[in-house]
Amino acid sequence: MKTCAKVNLFLKITGKRPDGYHELENIFWPLPWLQDTVTVTMKTSGGISMECEAPGVPVDETNLCWKAAKVFLETSALPLSPHIALTKRIPIAAGLGGGSSDAAATLLELNRLTGNPLDSAKLHAIAANLGADVPFFLNPIPSLATGIGEVLSPVSSKGSCHIFLANPQFPVPASWAYKHWHEDFIDKKVSCEEILAFMKSGEWGNVFSRIRNDLEYCIFRKFQILGIVRERMEEVGISNVHVSGSGPTLFGLSSPEISAKAKPLLEEEFSGFLKCYCENRGM
Instruction: Please list the active-site residues.
Output: 6, 133
**Peptide bond before residue 32 is cis, with ω within 30 degrees of 0:** no
Phi/psi at 250 (nearest 5 deg)?
-100, 145
Per the CB < 8 A criterion, the answer to whether 199 and 155 are in contact is yes
Distance, in Å, from the CA atom of 231 to the CA atom of 209, rounded to the nearest integer, reads 15
46 contact partners, CB below 8 Å, separation of at least 6: 81
Distance, in Å, from the CA atom of 230 to the CA atom of 252, rounded to the nearest integer, reads 9
Per the CB < 8 A criterion, the answer to whether 38 and 109 are in contact is yes
101 contact partners, CB below 8 Å, separation of at least 6: 3, 4, 5, 6, 36, 90, 133, 137, 140
Distance, in Å, from the CA atom of 249 to the CA atom of 19, rounded to the nearest integer, reads 27
Look at the alpha carbons of 139, 199, 240, 265 in this order and tell me if their dihedral is positive or negative.
positive
Closest CA to 217 of 205, 204, 230: 230
Distance, in Å, from the CA atom of 202 to the CA atom of 160, rounded to the nearest integer, reads 7
